[in-house]
Amino acid sequence: MKIKLTSVPVKDQDKALRFYTEVLGFVKKTEVPMGEHKWLTVVSKEEPGVELLLEPMGFPPAAVYQKALFEAGIPYTAFHVDDVEEEYRRLEKKGVVFSMKPTPMGPVTIAVFDDTCGNNIQIVQV
């Protein structure tokens, strides 16, 4: 069994695509129109195997869940980085708002930011 696709809910797919590509540095892999929304995925430049689906918020209970996680400060997902401090500085220069600056927690260092699409995202250095 392998993980090939995972998703993050977004309020606006076009805005999310700009943030995830222009700010975070992912690369668009798939964009297939599907009526009002699209099948829209991005991948990492370093490891393009796993796709991240920018999932449109079309299901009201999902929006409630997303909002509750965000308000509680809980990250929706996490991305691995080689150097949290370096990534924090890079993203902060691009205007990314962090709710948690780089913080050592045992064998890992984490930071949490707002993806501008309704989610807290955690970056992790192991």
Q: What is the 3-state secondary structure (H, E, C) of 51-88?
A: EEEEEECCCHHHHHHHHHHHHHCCCCEEEECCCHHHHH
**What are the Cα distances from residue 9, in Å, to 3, 32, 93?**
18, 17, 25
* Per-residue confidence band for 59, with pLDDT thresholds at 50, 70 and 90: confident
Is 11 in contact with 117 (CB distance < 8 Å)?
A: yes
The tokens for 41 are: 């995925």
5-125 maps to which CATH number? 3.10.180.10
Token reading at 34: 């599907």
pLDDT band at 52 (very low <50, low <70, confident <90, very high): very high
The answer to whether residues 54 and 43 touch, using CB atoms and an 8 Å cutoff, is no
- What pTM was estimated for this model as a whole? 0.94
